[in-house]
Structure 1
Amino acid sequence: MFTAAAKIDVRAMVVESGGERVSAAPLVVRNQTGKIVLALPKSAAGYRWHEDDYLIIDCEAQQNSKANVKYEFKIGDKLFTLGYYLVPKRRVKMAIQLVELASRRWFLQTRPGAMKGHVSGSPTHIDKVDEVRITLEKGREPQSFTLYDAYLSRELPDFTVKGEPMVDQFGQWKDMDWAGKVKDEAAMVGFLRAEYDRALRDHDYPGDEFSRYGGWTKKRFEARGFFYKLHDGRRWWLVDPDGCAFFSNGVCYGSRMGVHGFVDGMEDLFDFLPPKDDPVFKDAWTTADQIPEFVKRNGAEAGKGRYMFNFARANMIRAFGDKWWDAWVTINAARLKRWGFNTISVCVNNYFDERAEDYLKKAGVPFTWTLKCFPKTREMVFRDFPDVFSPEYAMLCQDFAQQIVAFKDNPYFIGYFINNEPEWLVQWTTNPAEQLLRKGPECVSKGVLVEFMKGAYAGNIAALNAAWATAFGSFDELAAPYAGVDELNAAARADLRKFRARMIEEYVRVPTSALKAVCPNALNLGMRYASVTENDFAGDTLFDMFSSNGYRRSVVPLLELVARCTTMPLVVGEWHYGGSDYGLLDNALVNATTQTERGKACANYLQMAMAAPNCVGVHYFEFNDQPLLGRFDGECMQHGLIDVCNQPHTACVEAMKAVNAKMYQYANGDIAAVETPWEFAQRF
């Protein structure tokens, strides 16, 4: 346990902005007018902070949305942040180990009461920190922030969250009301059974211009029996197996049977949780070690015994009993086609019992597959960037490519995303080439970097020293660990940017070669970057198309950036808008004020993307709303096309459906895309 010397006196904290102090111990700040900022002197604990310490706070945020709480570390004029979204209106603990300042990952492990957590900043150390602050971003209807305790410890606290229930029997938020909220089980069951009956008779694409794959029968090219890309002189197209022009209008996780959410350590907050061995609701339970994405980020041991419940499945079980899975596929595959979506995107088995491949066979909708477990070498360069020039990386990529063997003869298989939001690129201020310089000769890529610099300066170490303002005796000295080169001067940074591009080319080339050898006809859809700048297109021509997520008010700037920087067509791997009038703790990454305005925003995005000559697809994220208290990584956003009770967000869906019905007229230039104003809302 922590010692008295490690306790931090909350009375010594200064409220720099955002509200008024009304109590000293506990520290209470009310009437939040903006981001609350509490200054926390490092000397307050009375001893030297250590990277093995957890900085722990015991707090409560009174507001009607998730609480965005962060530790901000000032290092000169730079800022490093570690933080979580916390469950509001309940007393919770947030604990983050100071070793996270090394920035070795992007996602923090989810804890009870502490939902999605992030690491943001270039690598540093607690000894370099000048000032520490605790901050709370302004949320929806903010009231107050209470800090009961703050301390440093080498041990984690008890994270159990106590209090009155927040989640009703259907998985909805008890404290908020909205149009369409389910309040009666019989009414919900009746609706779902009616949706099932409708799906049996109404399950086709809109109109008679759509092929069986969702392509456009009025524009035809060579039929090859598989999807391929083609430029017709005016724009890029995909072509479906029957030779019809195809625009990939997709829904991410369209095959997902609801979303599991954490209940571990928060059991008090639920009205309804059946016994874990309940024979009726057994399919709604899982543990975090059964979710590959959780295991990838945290390890299997961290997920054992951490229970999760899927209210969307439970609601289907209430309506269909043990036939719930078939009913879900029937209802939602029909909806996707009826609404004009022709691609199920991502399609990974993020739950071991998800049965994504069975869903795809039954649904008969074209799909993309996102590969899992991107190769990690023994020596990693930065976060998830591997030792790309090593023989080990090449060997791992050969094994990695075997994931798609099962799909190579499936005509509905459009192609694959090699990766999903690589964490090294999220921290765009950190250059992997500079991090490579910090490595020793055990990292094979380090030797390639030294040879690159030797070639750049024609073997003249004096020339490199003159450019970098260094004093190396020979290029061999670069083989030893060397830090801070990107801080030397502009010439050093420019050299490292050049080698960064070389590293990314190899990062792309090796798995791309292995995948094409295994499945030559499937389209390589790229790395599915979280976002891109003009500096992030190295290796682009090795893909069949370039992919980036596009969470923006308008898709146009992304379309224009990609058109400037590459000749490859673009597929937008993820995009969405949320509505701010619906009962979840988070709206979305980009938001409208209401579901109606959300529909306008979505219709705009779709039109502009469909009309762009360099765009061949947009994949909406995602089909389901997320759980009220967070999925495996704590995300709890209102961005789905359906809610936890399997009800469509009608105003939004109908607006998208109207555009989708004219998708190919927009793509062919028969109808001009026009952006319509819509009411933007801040994220809370």
Structure 2
Amino acid sequence: MNTKWLVKVLVIVLISSCMFSIYQCAPKKTQLPVLMDFEGNFDIKSVETTDDVKVNLIKNRDGTALRVITGQKGNRPGIMINAPGGEWDLSDYLYVEMDVKNTGTTEAWVSCRLNNKPWITSRVYTTPGKMRTLKVFYKRSDPPEYFKKYFTGMKGMPGGFAPGWSRIDSKKIFRLFISFPEPQGEQIIEIDNIRASGSYDPPSEEELKTTFFPFIDKFAQYKYKEWPGKIHSFEDFEKYRKEERVDLDRNKEPVNRNRYGGWEKGPKLKATGYFRPEKYREKWWLVDPEGRLFWSHGIDCVRPGSGTTPITEKKHYFEYLPEPGSPESQFYNKRTTSEGKTTETFNLTGLNLFRKYGEDWKAKYSEISHKRLRSWGLNTIANWSDADIYLQRKTPYVVSINYSSKNLKESPHKFPDVFDPDFKRGLQERMASEKGKSANDSWCLGYFVDNELSWGDGAYFALLTLKAAPDLYGKKILINDLKAKYEEIKDLNRSWGTEYSSWDDMLQSREAPDKEKAFPDLNAFDKKVTKTYFRTCREAVKEAAPNNLYLGCRISFHFYPNEQRNLEWAKQVIGIAGEYCDVISFNRYRYSAKPLVPPEGTDKPLIIGEWQFGAMDRGMIHPGPCAVPDQELRGESYIRYVSGALENPFLVGTHWFLYADQAVTGRFDGENYQLGFLDICDTPYMETVNACRSIGYSIYKYRNAF
């Protein structure tokens, strides 16, 4: 018998028993608008298949269903179903959903994308014999035109408008791509009753003119919806505080953990007094300061300000904002953008913490945050957290490093000119500020420098550089490199198809060459930029904190490796990162972490710096990048993501984004997603908390089994 498979089954069974009825049967043949039920004269030949997928129609007690049989070719075997007549107009609805039943003998993921848009997707996990509802929320192209006069600085808007990184015209949904990711053998799935659900019901312009505002109640919650756990009175704060106190006392922390959260009863390796990565029995781990194996199960933004929102020209959104000079007015502030525009802000999270914990709210919030993390099965305070909390040295932590430097123009994520002396100087100054704080602190895992930089296609940096002003340091470096290769400008012109009259003419030029003709030279420069970036970051980190880890920049290759654009260049970037990073970091807003592995030739540990699942059933109006229909599925998805990461021999941690929800009215860039383990009133989402405990209390046994 395969013992690893048996352990996995036992752990998953144990985890599932801790959840709230995860595997409920899906309803059959509802009254919702049916898009396709495979009855009548359905043409099976209209179903397109990929890889070695086979389809046929089968009769069951409810009628006819589509049976899909997959093999193991490819990472995402699947089918494509096109709308009869060309397209569906689903503009009155929020979701496309379907019944999926696993009639095979192996567990299976079932995923669906609308119009094959990568961010208009969802998935469910099915076990043999179980029926589930797969429900895809679609993120629309544009809100009603009149909304633009009433709502500013909000990505999600009332009534169901929630845009994403991909958007869809809800009047023109023409294709469903149903896939079966990460197949573990032959899978047999029955699909039926594809339908639209949910009501897209934005307030009318007349309502916005007359009755809708304010739409945020005095406790900073969405006014026009009810849900379990909503605060209705000041007494509710104490009620939920007492309930949580009982819960935390009952679930103090996992057993067999040392003070760092490492595996106390596990293997004992060399103790260095600091965190380090080490490969142990063919799997990468972190090793804690006491020499115990450590897997970083963490959460971002442990701080009291996630609900800070701009209020300039938006005060009418709120039922309550405090009077200036009152104790609650401490939560007013100002924010100046990079363009020099100043806006007034208000910290709604802070206001509710003050109400809940009183004048000593900061100290009490810090204390309960450490207690919560231990109780929830977490062991790392992750990026963008409050130094006043992590420097208490009760929970291991990481630090985010941002710095001042000149950037390449037109770069959406402001990639620095790595050849400008200000780049290195800015890094050194920022790292120097960590001396006496996190630098060489045994509780500090290490440093993330930057976040989600754009890496382009292998010619990106060179093209931006050539279009830049002649005083850009990188432009001079690039031209000097070209001079070393081409004896004269005419030789470069011949290769590139350009007409520069001299090297100085090239320096002054603001035009980009033909990318295809110049690509070998452009790519060579992009590699040089990438190497210089990672090398300089590493040197700055190690100069100030030689005993802590350089954790990279949280690369945003969300679809790496199986659906990544410019895959070969992505592999080169990761390979170069591996030369300099102690641990290579990724942000990965996907439904699974298991496929994330470094390219061949790069044997380095990986860590996920951001991931998330969100729903709109608890008062938030945007689910975030990875949407699920409700809190129950949110909890289940959490378990599946972390368990997949634990099965991955390269991953040494996952850090959820984030600790507490953003404001419904949006943060500085409009994000107003359901991201938190806590809502805006500091009340835990217990479905997510219990899921986190379920896998978090068993991370070492689970990982050791694979």
Q: Distance in 1 between matches of 2:233 and 2:427?
A: 52
Q: In structure 2, how many angstroms separate the alpha carbons of the residues matched to 1:483 and 1:253?
A: 42
Alignment-mate amino acid for residue 645 of structure 2: A
Pair 1:276-2:324 in alignment: yes
- Match of residue 269 from structure 2: 221
Calculate the TM-score normalised by the size of structure 1.
0.70
- 1:468 matched residue in structure 2: 496
Mapped to 2, the partners of 1:88 and 1:524 lie a distance apart of: 48
Partner residue, 2:200: 142
Match of 1:566 in 2: 602
Is the contact between residue 380 and residue 387 of structure 1 (CA under 8 Å) also seen in structure 2?
no
- Contact 1:263–1:309 under 8 Å retained in 2: no
Q: Are the aligned partners of 1:195 and 1:331 in contact in 2 as well (CA < 8 Å)? A: no
Residue in structure 2 matched with residue 450 of structure 1 by the alignment? 479
Q: What residue is the counterpart of 1:414 in the other structure?
A: 445
2: CA distance, partners of 1:345 / 1:403: 19
The alpha carbon displacement at 1:444 in A equals 1.8
Given that 2:272 and 2:290 are in contact with CA atoms closer than 8 Å, whether structure 1 keeps it comes out as: yes
Give the number of aligned pairs.
538
- Fraction of identical pairs, as percent: 25
Q: Per-residue deviation at 1:90?
A: 8.2
Instruction: Tell me, yes or no, if the aligned pair for 2:138 and 2:170 is still in contact at 8 Å.
Output: no
Distance apart, 1:546 and its partner CA: 0.8
Does residue 303 of structure 1 match 2:342?
yes
How far apart are residue 664 of structure 1 and its match?
0.9
Matches within 5 A, 1:156-555: 163-196=212-245, 199=248, 201=249, 204-207=252-255, 209-217=256-264, 218-256=266-304, 258-279=306-327, 281-289=328-336, 295=337, 297-299=338-340, 302-304=341-343, 306-310=344-348, 312-348=349-385, 356-362=386-392, 364-373=394-403, 375-377=404-406, 382=411, 384-405=414-435, 406-422=437-453, 424-425=454-455, 431-457=460-486, 459=487, 461-485=489-513, 488=514, 490-531=516-557, 533-537=570-574, 538-555=576-593
**8 Å CA contact retained: 2:459, 2:515:** no
Unaligned segments of structure 1, at least 5 residues: 1-16, 21-29, 36-64, 71-84, 95-108, 122-133, 149-159, 290-294, 349-355, 673-684
Q: Distance in 2 between matches of 1:287 and 1:473?
A: 51
Q: Partners of 1:278 and 1:18 in 2: how far apart?
A: 57
Q: Is the 8 A contact 2:309 2:666 kept in 1?
A: yes
TM value normalised by structure 2: 0.68
Contact 1:264 1:308 (C-alpha < 8 Å) held by counterparts: no
Asked if structure 2 preserves the Cα contact closer than 8 Å seen for 1:205 and 1:214, the reply is: no
1:163, 1:269 within 8 Å by CA — same for their partners in 2? no
Once the two structures are TM-superposed, the CA of residue 509 in structure 1 deviates from its matched residue by 1.7
User: What is the match of residue 620 of structure 2?
Assistant: 584
Query: Mean alpha-carbon deviation: is it higher for 597-606 or for 391-400?
Result: 391-400
**Shift in Å, 1:428:** 6.2
Task: Output the amino acid matched with 1:600.
Answer: E
The aligned amino acid for 2:259 is R
Task: Name the CA shift for 1:643/1:535 in 2 (closer, same or farther; >3 Å).
Answer: same
- Code of the aligned partner of 1:334: K
The higher-RCO structure (CA 8 Å, 6+ apart) is 2
The amino acid that maps onto 1:288 is: R
| Secondary structure of the structure 1 residue equivalent to 2:700 | helix
SS at match of 1:578: coil
Question: Relative to 1, partners in 2 of residues 1:136 and 1:68: Cα closer, same or farther, differing over 3 Å?
Answer: farther
Superposed displacement of residue 282, structure 1: 3.2
Cα distance in 1 for residues equivalent to 2:685 and 2:172 = 28
Could you say if the C-alpha distance between residues 530 and 277 of structure 1 is closer, same or farther in structure 2, counting changes exceeding 3 Å? farther
| CA positional deviation for 1:337 | 0.5
Amino acid across the alignment from 1:192: R
Q: Write the letter of the residue equivalent to 1:649.
A: Y
User: CA shift at 1:598, angstroms?
Assistant: 0.9
Structure 2, unaligned stretches of length 5 or more?
1-85, 96-136, 174-196, 559-569
* Rounded Cα–Cα distance in structure 2 between residues aligned with 1:381 and 1:240: 42
Contact residue 276 and residue 282 of structure 1 kept, 8 A: yes
Q: Secondary structure, in 3 states, of the residue corresponding to 2:446?
A: strand
Query: Are the counterparts in 2 of residues 213 and 240 from structure 1 also a CA contact under 8 Å?
Result: yes
- Counterpart of 2:421, as a letter, is P
Tell me the CA shift for residue 187 of structure 1: 2.8
Deviation at 1:86, TM superposition (A): 9.5
Whichever residue aligns with residue 528 of structure 1, its letter is: R
Amino acid paired to 1:303: T
Q: Secondary structure at the match of 2:546?
A: coil
Say what the alpha-carbon RMSD is for the aligned residues. 3.9
Partner SS state of residue 322, structure 1: coil
CA change 1:222–1:203 in 2 (3 A) is farther
Alpha carbons 2:140, 2:163 under 8 Å: kept: no
Instruction: Give CA deviations for 1:494-522 in whole Å, capped at 9, x if unaligned.
Output: 42122112112112222321221111011
Q: Return the letter of the residue paired with 2:253.
A: Y
C-alpha deviation, 1:531, in angstroms? 2.7
What residue identity is the alignment partner of 2:258? Answer: S
Cα deviation 1:320-348 (Å, max 9, x = unaligned): 32122222222222111011100001145
Does the Cα contact within 8 Å between 2:156 and 2:673 map onto a contact in 1? no
